[in-house]
Amino acid sequence: MMALFDSHCHIDFEQFNDDRDDVFARMRDAGVTRLVAVSVELEQTPRLIDLVESHYGVWFSVGVHPNHGVDHEPTVDQLCKLAGHEKCVAIGESGMDFFRANVDPKTQEQRFRTHIRAAHAVNKPVIVHMRDADDATLRILKEENIAGCGGIMHCFSSTCKAARQALDMGMSISFSGNVTFKRNDELRNIATQIPEDSILIETDAPYLAPVPMRGKRNEPAFVKHVAECIAEVRGISVEHLADITTANALKRFQLI
Ligand SMILES: [Zn+2]
Ligand SMILES: [Zn+2]
């Protein structure tokens, strides 16, 4: 039986409030046995803890999204305390996003550095969100020595060069539904070049549903479509792709 790992989703969001149990059931039917529910704001942590404590195969992260407006910036201490829960497997999502830029770049940068420092302190990887901000993101990752704690380039949608720089720092590259979109030949090409031990898959649900579900609400079960697409372009079986991405996620999140 195939066992897929959705390395990044937002299953606690209100979009799932009416049918969350059905979403979990469909996820297991699709062979998706594990997921990480990723944080975008610290107020969410109690909800995430409820979720991981009542479900098997579910872990969570602690962090504030680069574009999320907050009254108080998170501190290293605050992040470390919240990340002390035994089912917290990562810090983030954090990073740099100049696409929407609801938060000014200086604040984003300071917030991102704070997250990486917390990740070092608790020895957990950083889930990195990078959108239209390659140079700034990669520079900060290097300056803050991301190699020391490890990290994941989530929802990767940039260039081959950026992927290579991230790989050189020991990071994992995670592909979401946008790797299945018709116009994204270049992204599929990059997905063929990531070393077998560095590739992850995710949904980023409820966003970015993969083909053939594009336009619908995304859910963890649909990570199998991401797996099928990448297996096809890499010329391997979906079972093999499932094996390597699940093994990579278990290792990256220190679950084995
Ligand atoms: Zn993101
Ligand atoms: Zn996300």
Token pair in block for residue 179: 């790797």
Backbone angles phi, psi at 51, to 5 degrees: -65, -50
The CATH number assigned to the domain holding 248 equals 3.20.20.140
Ligand 1 centroid–CA 129 distance in Å is 5
* Alpha carbon distance 212, 227 (integer Å): 13
Q: Residue 55 domain-assigned?
A: no
| Chain segment 51-63, per-residue pLDDT in tens | 999 999 999 999 9
The whole model's pTM is what? 0.98
Ligand 2 centroid–CA 40 distance in Å is 7
Q: What is the pLDDT of residue 217?
A: 98
What is the DSSP code (8-state) at residue 240?
H
Write out the residue range of the structural domain in which residue 137 sits.
4-50+63-252
Ligand 1 centroid–CA 130 distance in Å is 7
* Alpha carbon distance 70, 44 (integer Å): 13
| Domains of the chain: total | 1
Ligand 1 centroid–CA 219 distance in Å is 15
Q: What is the pLDDT of residue 100?
A: 84
Ligand 1 centroid–CA 105 distance in Å is 16
Q: Return the percentage of the chain with pLDDT > 90, whole number.
A: 98
Q: Residue 57 domain-assigned?
A: no
Nearest bound ligand to the CA of residue 40? 2
Query: 65 with 94: CB under 8 angstroms?
Result: yes
H helices of 134-221, in order, are: 134-143, 160-168, 185-193
| Chain segment 158-170, per-residue pLDDT in tens | 999 999 999 999 9
* Alpha carbon distance 14, 94 (integer Å): 21
pLDDT of residue 131 exceeding 90, the answer is yes
> Which strands, in side-by-side order, build the sheet including 32-37?
4-9, 32-37, 58-62, 88-97, 126-131, 151-153, 172-175, 199-201
Q: Residue 29 domain-assigned?
A: yes
Ligand 1 centroid–CA 127 distance in Å is 9
